[in-house]
Structure 1
Amino acid sequence: MKLALILNVIDPKIGGVMIMGDRGTGKSTTIRAIADLLPEIEVVEDDPFNSHISDYELMSNEIKQRIEQNNKINTTFIKVPMIDLPLGATEDRVCGTIDIEKALNEGIKTFEPGLLAKANRGILYVDEVNLLDDHLVDILLDSAASGWNTVEREGISIRHPARFVLVGSGNPEEGELRPQLLDRFGMHAEIRTVREPSLRVKIVEQRSKFDSDPHLCLQEFQDQQLKLKHRIIEAQKSLGNIKIDYDLRVKISAVCGELDVDGLRGDIVINRAAKALAAYNSREQVNTNDIRTVITLCLRHRLRKDPLDTVDSGSKVQCVFESIFV
């Protein structure tokens, strides 16, 4: 779970993570903690879309116009946005809507940005994503894939950048996502409750320690946190230089073909995730171990479910991987 989140932070184009697991296994805690590992980002001051100062793909139309007119633009640094999407959210709240107050008071039609605007260049977290309305999940996945959100409301047409890491979590007992929606998530991690007594005790002790003095607990792990933060920043910088050999790419596609995976998303995500892992480990070349580490996370949720199949989909992926990569 942690590795999948870190790899998505290094390369947001992997396409997000779906984390399914038992209740009380720390899914939400881990996801919310990832934001603290990210470097601050430079945004245009007073811009609701967290626009980038130089990258056109991460800039709202208003900022583009101001740059073209050579207007002075002030910037500020903010923490990477971590936006929670509540289960009861409406489409207007997610996508944005007309600012009614301004329309009534001033007679002007203006756009009131939604959660997708706030999440631009950040992380959008949906707890219990399997209970979210399907049409909202469709909107989220479309925005995450294209990087843009288009809103048509009452004669207003707005298109703004919405590039974010989409993270969903849920409990499989409460229902699964539709296969076509599940396939749109780049990676899928499954979390099970720890059974080993000594490890459970260690977790309980650490939780009690944090509850009694959160500040002291955070200080204790500050050095480890800073090392991890630095490692992620270095990986983000070196990602563009990572190479993956042609024969390894052929073998990746052979695994996807052998497992009868629909479409090419699986191939693309494995290539991206393997490169992100090589960057994370400070290497310039992807090796077989990188692919072995990420392939289950990338393919587990893309396999066709056989009701009579008792084998875990993860072990099935590893079995085919070993047969092709030997």
Structure 2
Amino acid sequence: MNTELTEETERPIFPFTAIVGQEEMKLALLLNVIDPKIGGVMIMGDRGTGKSTTVRALVDLLPEIQVVADDPFNSDPWDPELMSLEVRKLVQQKKLPVISTKISMVDLPLGATEDRVCGTIDIEKALTEGVKAFEPGLLAKANRGILYVDEVNLLDDHLVDVLLDAAASGWNTVEREGISISHPARFILIGSGNPEEGELRPQLLDRFGMHAQVGTVKDAELRVKIVEQRASFDQDPKAFREAYKISQDNLREQIKQAIERLPNVKIDHDLRVNISRICAELNVDGLRGDIVTNRAAKALAALGNREQVTPKDILTIIPLCLRHRLRKDPLESIDSGLLVKEKFSQVFGYTTKTNNS
């Protein structure tokens, strides 16, 4: 019913399962939906490689969540960490109207101001009426959802800092003239960009959980298939989406089950030690690389309907988790992940030849 409503009232969305190639990008996005604590994903690649199309296609697959009705922050009815202060007061009074809604995706435009992103406080109303008049921004709307920034490498560094701080802490605080207001801001941050237009500063890049690289498809047959699919979708979006309905439903159910399975997934101590050895031997600063790799490996196992992480799981995701954390010459492009795979092979004694994709 929701899907029909979307098709009738909004611009049709290209089906996620119809996207050909770019498996690395698709996997990174799915794993972040399964475990938002992975910390988001940065997608870098050439123009016209389907970065925005793939991210927006993810909307169709997002599960429903329960939120407090009429709350601008999508507060969780049961988790205090995901509640606004007003909702916490309602909890004490036991007046919580709850509704189900689809996880939302919020687009952050390049020209957005800090007030638009963080929200504003009406100082005049606060002083004259003695109330904290807060106008929520995009961070409030994105709470418990996805915040997508296209061309993130062209975004003002100050705004990127604000986004990453909110994503890391889970809270957004707005202060004006001695008045301070905080609200939950837990979201999956997805950024995309073209490396030709400039890279993010290393200290900002490191804050993204995963880094996916996308390239232009070289295979002629595959290129023809992509062009034909796009033409079919543009000609009759409804019929095209209907053709992929079963695969979309199956993937949606797979994601839902993976989210439920995730708390039960285990990763053996010796595998965790090997992950940390790889990070140490690659001179990865801090422990963020270790943490993200562990989380992503567990999310992949959950997606694969398993409750035990295998070395193959780690091999699949470790280039995405570490390639942007390696120290490198400023003139070099980000390591393709081959160095990470070589180190994995040394530490695990596990061949990578059959797993390159």
* TM surpasses 0.5: yes
Residue 17 of structure 1 corresponds to 41
Per-residue deviation at 1:68? Answer: 1.0
TM-score between the two structures when normalised by the length of structure 1: 0.96
Q: Which runs of 5+ in 2 are unaligned?
A: 1-24, 350-357
Distance 1:181 1:308, change over 3 A: closer
SS in 1 for 2:70: coil
**Structure-1 separation of matches of 2:56 and 2:330:** 35
Q: Deviations along 1:83-126, whole A, 9 cap, x unmatched?
A: 00011111111111024796699675401011000000000000
Residue 219 of structure 1 corresponds to 242
Residue 208 of structure 2 corresponds to 185
Q: Does 1:90 align with 2:113?
A: yes
Q: 1:36 aligns with which of 38, 60, 64?
A: 60
**Structure-1 separation of matches of 2:181 and 2:124:** 18
**Structure-2 separation of matches of 1:11 and 1:50:** 18
Q: Deviations along 1:227-285, whole A, 9 cap, x unmatched?
A: 00000010101111111001001100111111111111000000000000000001110
Residue 61 of structure 1 corresponds to 85
Residue 276 of structure 2 corresponds to 253
Q: 1:156 aligns with which of 155, 179, 183?
A: 179
Q: Deviations along 1:1-20, whole A, 9 cap, x unmatched?
A: 00000000000000000000
SS in 1 for 2:318: helix
Q: Which runs of 5+ in 1 are unaligned?
A: none
**Structure-2 separation of matches of 1:116 and 1:170:** 21
* 1:152-301 correspondence to structure 2 within 5 Å: 152-301=175-324
Q: Does 1:3 align with 2:13?
A: no
**Structure-2 separation of matches of 1:102 and 1:44:** 26
**Structure-1 separation of matches of 2:145 and 2:333:** 38
Q: What percent identity do the matched residue pairs reach?
A: 71
Deviates more, 1:208-217 or 1:38-47: 38-47
TM-score between the two structures when normalised by the length of structure 2: 0.88
- Contact in 1 for aligned 2:123/2:176 (Cα 8 Å): no
**Structure-2 separation of matches of 1:317 and 1:160:** 38
* 1:118-157 correspondence to structure 2 within 5 Å: 118-157=141-180
- Contact in 2 for aligned 1:124/1:165 (Cα 8 Å): yes
Over the aligned positions, Cα root-mean-square deviation in angstroms equals 1.7
**Structure-1 separation of matches of 2:228 and 2:315:** 34
Residue 317 of structure 1 corresponds to 340
Distance 1:311 1:97, change over 3 A: closer
Q: Deviations along 1:176-225, whole A, 9 cap, x unmatched?
A: 00000000000000100001111000000000000010000000000000
**Structure-1 separation of matches of 2:219 and 2:328:** 30
**Structure-1 separation of matches of 2:305 and 2:273:** 24
- Contact in 1 for aligned 2:324/2:334 (Cα 8 Å): no
Per-residue deviation at 1:38? Answer: 1.2
**Structure-2 separation of matches of 1:311 and 1:25:** 18
